[in-house]
Structure 1
């Protein structure tokens, strides 16, 4: 088992020693032991699948989230076989629960970011939508944490505290009651300009009297945990997609990263200036170090790997590893168009009420056509996000840096390069979020370490160049966008002005 960290008087610089990086994700928790010199020397994972139900229910058992963090971390440490200097934790961001701050016991299940039940809260608060967007950079949408937090207060319990899942996990690990500025920025309760809780936003959501965690930098000393064995300091906290952005060195507007996990999430840095999107993206905190806040633009595709899971449940594929084999059995989608909005459409439409659609089916349609149509549907939505970033920043992207489990599909990555008409650079390690968590943990050990020095050395494992011309890409994108327009026309918008995404 790992031994306790070296004391301050040790001859070994703690920042030069390995750290444990934990990524608590939607369906599992992944952990890496990362050495600054040798790279990843240990890894572990543990499942933590959510439960899906009717009426937009997506819940997780908090006890399973915590046990998966501990199990994955211990497995990674066991494989590494040596002590670590610190722990970094990345979290799901918009997943929330109520819990007892005295005992740490959960009072509700965790409402996962995909849960849609807070649509009723968004409908009620529709007159405040633009005010909230200006205050927080976020559209009024059940995806974000505050509507779900308010829903819990109205429907489930008034007891304890209600927070994002990171605050509960950190409290169980160390006893601290904190959240990093980027995670706080996913609530719609954080003032985008000051990166502190907004009294006005809290008042709008009826949460003015709530006890909220202290907003902290991503790097610091947040307590000590013995959950993984001997005492280890927790020195890094960052929400998942921003952690991946840091790992991909995405600090400039001309560079964006996209993580293909349960959903697909594209982020591009905008520097120290908060930017409120005019295209339907989210303007939010990227991270805060030394009290200095950096910002990014964020765009979401709600269903990526979750759509692959849906195809697997239908027997079309056995899983994500089967995409290339099945999709490679045909030359194209055979005229099939798949709008995979199985959990609604996110940016830039913000229509959580929209359902998915499959069109162009025929008696000759086979599994390969469905797989290719899904890849095109995911990739086309990502192109829309990339175009929106370029419009908001006035800077076209030069390439797209990608990570996440679905980057293992050459078919999806080639489709992405074709439709985007830009190189797609695949991270050598799919778990970029964990790499980012490790980087901020190292920064917490060494306050003089910059983001550029802490981020892992970047060399793509593969680069996909476009294989089709711009005209063909535009034609295929046009077909997809026409189907989205038709889908939305068949799904009348909720009858209220100023609100998006209600179910």
Structure 2
């Protein structure tokens, strides 16, 4: 089957849709915003109806711009965002609890004795970031009615009536057996979810049903969690290939091949995708706040928006001794301290907005370096380069800072919306099972390559400053917890 496909990327702050033609590339696009609400106790929620409306609005806009029919639909999703809903009517029973939500920390604390077992079973550390703690928290605090799933299952049910999730998204729950790529009865029992009705786990290139939500009946043939979709679109098919997506957070994934590689450095081991019954795995590390930290600076009036990173940061040559640990939603891999708060140190009367911007870029880039070094340790060889995508790659300052601190080239994708393009690829594979994988992917080419402009000694000195700031943050927290 040939012809254009509609690819929908339902993300944290909005939904992007593309109509992708095998011969002509992107021939239509549309977007629609999503506005998560932040509340006390680490709450981050969004109205499920807003998620669905954004999918429909973005998809219809893309199809309207393309002006021609499509043969299939692919959907990428946020991964760890969950809700309870009625499987008979599709009606949401709770708000969607966004991946950044920290209220399930109490669930993790209660289950801490099982952390090593869960990590070995599922590849994931016990942390509120993942879906299972949120699912258990919903059952304890909000409702025991209906089903509780990741947001993709609800969206797919709304579109087609099917009750499914793809293998990679299931792998983000902490309920999937990493080796078997199927639901783990033991993990379900640990979380108190053993009696739950769970969606069927399907390959990413599977026809799960048809939808008339965008007009004529169209088969939904591709499902994949967002970061793995971006990894696929970046042609990261061989062990050691790595990409980092700079969006609301920053997410570094490295392909590890057909056998899961359980890391020793704090990285997540998870399913990259399962295509045609064959599972590929990856190592995964997260920075919880990237664009969301930029938005925070903008909200404080330091910059007017993401474009201000380059203009404001260019006013000074460096961070002026300021260190910024942007743990505004906690620290993820390799520390896994989601309870920590961020810190800014080294302020003086001569500190300017430019110094704060430079310090933020250092803080984001330094965390990605920590992830890259963890990948190198777990894989046994260093990265040769890093492929980058996402909205923040438009910042020359951030990308140059990343190359400087990483001491490796950073190759910025020429293809915006890599996640949607990954969804398009699995949709094409699902619609045409005989299509070779590499033919379904967009050709890889960088729009820009950032080479390091500083030496290894200066990079090491700047990284040491960031690591010292993190140690101070950890020690301050430990001292605050110790009884006097």
* TM-score, normalised with respect to structure 2: 0.98
Query: How far is the alpha carbon of 1:451 from its aligned partner?
Result: 2.5
Q: 1:374 aligns with which of 357, 360, 374?
A: 360
SS in 1 for 2:478: coil
Look up the match of 1:163: 149
Question: 1:65-464 alignment to 2 at 5 Å?
Answer: 65-464=51-450
Query: How far is the alpha carbon of 1:429 from its aligned partner?
Result: 2.3
Could you report, residue by residue, the CA deviation over 1:123-182 in whole angstroms, capped at 9, with x for unpaired residues? 000110000001000000000000000000000000000000000000000000000000
SS in 2 for 1:127: helix
Asked if structure 1 preserves the Cα contact closer than 8 Å seen for 2:323 and 2:466, the reply is yes
Asked if structure 2 preserves the Cα contact closer than 8 Å seen for 1:253 and 1:395, the reply is no
Asked if structure 2 preserves the Cα contact closer than 8 Å seen for 1:256 and 1:267, the reply is yes
Query: How far is the alpha carbon of 1:396 from its aligned partner?
Result: 1.1
Could you report, residue by residue, the CA deviation over 1:304-337 in whole angstroms, capped at 9, with x for unpaired residues? 0000000000111111122101111111111111
The separation in 2 between residues aligned to 1:441 and 1:334, in whole angstroms, is 49
Query: How far is the alpha carbon of 1:238 from its aligned partner?
Result: 0.1
Asked if structure 2 preserves the Cα contact closer than 8 Å seen for 1:417 and 1:464, the reply is yes
Query: How far is the alpha carbon of 1:232 from its aligned partner?
Result: 0.8
SS in 2 for 1:461: strand
* TM-score, normalised with respect to structure 1: 0.95
Asked if structure 1 preserves the Cα contact closer than 8 Å seen for 2:240 and 2:256, the reply is no
Asked if structure 2 preserves the Cα contact closer than 8 Å seen for 1:342 and 1:356, the reply is yes
Could you report, residue by residue, the CA deviation over 1:361-400 in whole angstroms, capped at 9, with x for unpaired residues? 1111111111111000000000000000010010210100
Residue 25 (1) aligns with residue 11 (2): yes
SS in 2 for 1:320: coil
Query: How far is the alpha carbon of 1:74 from its aligned partner?
Result: 0.4
Residue 490 (1) aligns with residue 472 (2): no
The separation in 1 between residues aligned to 2:356 and 2:248, in whole angstroms, is 19
The separation in 2 between residues aligned to 1:203 and 1:409, in whole angstroms, is 45
Q: Which has the higher contact order (CA 8 A, sep 6+)?
A: 1
Pairwise CA RMSD? 1.1
Query: How far is the alpha carbon of 1:495 from its aligned partner?
Result: 7.9
SS in 2 for 1:349: coil
Query: How far is the alpha carbon of 1:494 from its aligned partner?
Result: 10
Asked if structure 1 preserves the Cα contact closer than 8 Å seen for 2:30 and 2:61, the reply is yes
SS in 2 for 1:418: helix
Residue segments in structure 1 that go unaligned for 5+ positions in a row: 1-13, 497-503
The separation in 1 between residues aligned to 2:271 and 2:194, in whole angstroms, is 22
The separation in 2 between residues aligned to 1:99 and 1:162, in whole angstroms, is 6
Look up the match of 1:41: 27
Asked if structure 2 preserves the Cα contact closer than 8 Å seen for 1:309 and 1:319, the reply is yes
Asked if structure 2 preserves the Cα contact closer than 8 Å seen for 1:380 and 1:419, the reply is yes
The separation in 2 between residues aligned to 1:264 and 1:90, in whole angstroms, is 17
Asked if structure 2 preserves the Cα contact closer than 8 Å seen for 1:253 and 1:397, the reply is no
Look up the match of 2:37: 51
SS in 2 for 1:52: strand
